[in-house]
Amino acid sequence: MKHRDELPFTCAFIQELMRHRTLVPLGVFHKTNEDAILHGYTIPKDTTICPNLWAVHHDSQHFENPEEFRPERFLDRDGKFIQSNYVIPFSVGPRRCIGEQLARMQIFLLIAGIVQKLRIVPDPDNPLPSFCDGGSSMLIYEPPNFEVLFEKR
C-alpha cells in the first residue's frame, strides 16, 4: 500500500472501473427521519428513498462522455491520480459501507499484484465479449462470462 502513490494509473483504472461498472446501481434503501425539501420537492417523513449511484457515476455534468471507459480522466497534467467525490460505489454519508477502506485496499492489492506478476491475454479459443455486455438490473451488475489466460511475466 505504501507504493500506491507511485501507481497513479492503477488507481485511476480502479476508480474508472468502479464508476463505469457500478456493481450495485442503487444503494441501500433508507427512510427519511423528517420532512425534507430537495430541489423544490417535499419528501415527507418516513418516505423510503434509495440513492441512484449509477446516475451519479454517469452524470455528464461531472464526467465527459460518461459511457466511455477512460481511466485517464482521473489523472492530472502531471500524471498524478485525482480522487473524485462523484465516484461513490460504497455510497456516501454516515451509512456508507463500513468496509470501504478494507475493500479499497484489497482491490488495489489484487489488481496491482496481478498486473505486476502476470500478463492477462484473451483465450484464442474463446473470444472476449463486448465491454458493453453484461446484465444490469436495479439490484446488481453482473459481468458476462469470459475466459482469459494468465501468463507469468
Domain boundaries, the chain: 4-119
DSSP 7-43: -HHHHHHHHHHHHHT-SSSB---EE-SS-EEETTEEE
Residue 108 CB neighbours (<10 A): 17
Pull the grid cell for residue 106. 484489497
pLDDT in tens, 21-62: 988 888 888 899 999 999 999 999 999 998 899 999 999 999
26-35, 73-82, 130-139, 144-153: range with lowest mean pLDDT: 130-139
Whether 90 and 100 have beta carbons less than 8 Å apart is answered as: yes
pLDDT in tens, 58-92: 999 999 999 999 999 999 999 999 999 999 999 98
Reported pTM: 0.86
